[in-house]
Amino acid sequence: MSFSRQGACLCGAIHFTATLDNPDVSACHCSMCRTWGGGPMLVAHGSQAPVFEGAAPAVYRSSEWAERGFCGRCGTHLFYRLTGKDEYFFPVGMLQGAQDWQFSLQVYADERPSWYCFSNQTQQLTGEQIQAMYS
């Protein structure tokens, strides 16, 4: 059951509509996501490219298989995209509108620092497992 949500960067230069596959939220604990955002990245998944209005997002190719989109003016994180499968992950906190989100998955759980822990019961995949899925 897909549904759409709108989002915008902090400065308002970029607005977008994301089509999401379901209300599931995932957390990524990899070192790149923690460096990019200062903590785990909490995302909703979409398998369609978002529709952007206003300025075009800046894009950084962060690995062989992924890129990260952000506002070139204010730096707001807009998406993480798996390039080989054209899958998008959107920071759930920027998606507007009420939704019964369900925290269901943690990836790179083996890289999660010891100083935080979520109490939710979720599926947890290691870095090796997630790389095998998307390689």
- The enclosing domain of 37 has a CATH number of 2.170.150.70
Token pair recorded at residue 107? 């990836």
The pLDDT, as a whole number, for residue 75 is 97
Task: Taking residues 61-69, report their average pLDDT.
Answer: 93
Mean pLDDT of the chain: 94
Residue 44: is it exposed, middle or buried by C-beta count within 10 angstroms (0-12/13-18/19+)? Answer: buried
Parent domain of 12: 3-134
Give SS3 for 86: coil
- Report the number of distinct structural domains present in the chain: 1
Q: What's the pLDDT at 132? A: 87
pLDDT tens track for 4-42:
999 999 999 999 999 999 999 999 999 999 999 999 999
The angle subtended at Cα 90 by Cα 14 and Cα 87, nearest 5°, is 110
pLDDT in tens, 33-61: 999 999 999 999 999 999 999 999 999 99
Query: What percentage of the chain exceeds 90 in pLDDT?
Result: 87
